[in-house]
Chains A and B, each alone.
Chain A
Amino acid sequence: MTITTLDQLPPGPQARVTAVQLTGAERRRMMDLGILPGAAIAVALENPLGDPTAYRVRGAVIALRREQAQHIQVEIERA
C-alpha cells in the first residue's frame, strides 16, 4: 500500500482517503463534498494544465485545486 497525497495520485488507481489535513472552513468544505477518511477516490479527468484536477468520489465528480489536494492524504488501493 502506497501512502501519498491526493495531488500526487496518478490517473487510474483507486485510492482511499486516510486524512484531511485542513482545519476550519476548508475542512468543512471537504467533508461536505464527501471527502473524509474512508472515502474512495480516483482521478476522473486530468487537466492538461495540471490544475485543477477532477476527482470521482461517492458518485460525483469534484474539481480540486492542487493547493487543496495536497492536504488530503490517500492510500492507493489498486491499480
Chain B
Amino acid sequence: MSVDNAVTQPTTSIAAGCATCPMYNGAQLTRLGINMTDWDFVVALAGNPNTGKSTVFNALTGLRQHTGNWPGKTVVRAEGGFLYGDKRYKLVDLPGTYSLLSTSVDEEVARDFILFGQPTVTVVIVDATRLERNLNLALQVLEITDRVVIGLNLMDEAKRHGLQVDDRRLARDLGAPVVPMAARQGEGVQALLKAIHEVATGACAPRPRRINHRDPQLESAVAQLVRQIEFAFPGLPNARWVALRLLDGDESIERAVRDGTLGQLTQTVAPQPAPTIHLELEAVN
C-alpha cells in the first residue's frame, strides 16, 4: 500500500469495506461521560502511539483524557460512555501499541484488552501520514476479529503534506470500513459513530482480507493446542491466537499460560488454577 500514488476521494464514504452497509440518517450522539452502568456494546480504541485515540475518546464521551503531541501519554485504559441510536456504548481508550505480537510493558495493557477484553467492536485509529507503519497493527487486529472499524485520522495533516489517501480503496483492500477523520476538528466523528453502530448491531459485517497460511501440519498443531487451551481456560477468546503465539515461542504468553494469569485477562472468566498444558512443540515439527 503506497500513500503517494493513491487518489483522493472527497467523500466520507464507508460503504466500500462493507457490502451490507445500509445507508441511513445519522442518529444523535449523547455523551455519557463516566455514567455507564449498563451497556449494550463495548468499543475498544486501539492504534499506534500518538494517532489521536484519546482525542476521539474525548469527542465521543465528553471526558478529558490527557492528549498532547508526544507518544505514550495514555498508559492505563480509560473508560467512558455514550448513547447512539438507542444503544449504550462503553468506550475504552487504550495506550498506543505498534503490535500485538511483540509488546513493551506499556503495550501489554492494549494487547490484553484487544485480545481478551471481548470488545464488540475494535476501532483502530491510524495516522494517515504514516500509513505504512500504522497498517501493521491494523492487519494484526483484522487477523483476530471481523468487527473492526478503521479511523483514518489526521487527514488534515496528510493534506497539508500533499498526501492523498484513497480511503475507499483502502477499505476495499482491508475488507473493513474506513472513516477519514480529522478528530481534533471533530471531522469524521459522525461517520465514525455510524460505522461503529453498524458493525456493533451487525447491520454491517466486514469481511477482512486475511493472509492464508494453511499448512496441514501447522493446523493440526494449532488444533491440538486450542483444545488444551480451551479446556484450561474455559471461555477464553482467541485461543487460536494464543496457540500460534505458543508455537512461535512467545515467552510472555507462555508465562501467562503457565502461571494461570491468562485466564484473568478475560473479564467473564474467574481466575483459574494453574493449568497443565503440554508444550511439547518439538513433537509437531
Residues of A within 8 A of B (CB): 24-25, 28-29, 32-34, 58-61
Contacts and interface: CB of A to CB of B under 8 A. Distances in A.
Given A25-B250, A25-B251, A59-B129, A34 B136 contact: yes
A60 B49 CA distance: 9
B87 interface: no
B99 interface: yes
B106 interface: no
Given A24-B249, A32-B136, A34-B136, A60 B101 contact: no
Contacts of A24: 249
A34 B132 CA distance: 9
A24 B247 CA distance: 12
A25 B104 CA distance: 12
B102 A60 contact: no
A58 B249 contact: no
A15 to B, nearest CB: 18
A59 to B, nearest CB: 4
Contacts of B48: 60
B102 A32 contact: yes
A60 B99 contact: no
Given A25-B249, A25-B250, A25-B251, A58 B133 contact: yes
B254 to A, nearest CB: 11
Contacts of A58: 130, 132-133
B57 interface: no
Given A32-B101, A33-B98, A60-B71, 14 more contacts: A24-B249, A25-B102, A28-B101, A29-B102, A32-B98, A32-B99, A32-B136, A34-B133, A58-B130, A58-B133, A59-B127, A59-B133, A60-B48, A60-B133
Nearest to B130: A59
23 contacts: A24-B249, A25-B249, A25-B250, A28-B99, A29-B102, A32-B98, A32-B99, A32-B101, A32-B102, A32-B136, A33-B98, A34-B98, A34-B132, A34-B133, A34-B136, A58-B130, A58-B133, A59-B129, A59-B130, A59-B133, A60-B48, A60-B133, A61-B71
Interface in B126-179: 127, 129-130, 132-133, 136
B279 to A, nearest CB: 16
A51 to B, nearest CB: 17
Nearest to B70: A61
Contacts of A59: 127, 129-130, 133
A29 B136 CA distance: 12
Nearest to B97: A32
Contacts of B99: 28-29, 32
Nearest to A27: B102
B130 A28 contact: no
Interface string B240-283: 00000000011100000000000000000000000000000000
Nearest to A26: B102
Contacts of A25: 102, 249-251
A37 B205 CA distance: 36
Contacts of A33: 98
A19 B249 CA distance: 22
A33 B133 CA distance: 8
Contacts of A28: 99, 101-102
A68 B163 CA distance: 33
A24 B251 CA distance: 10
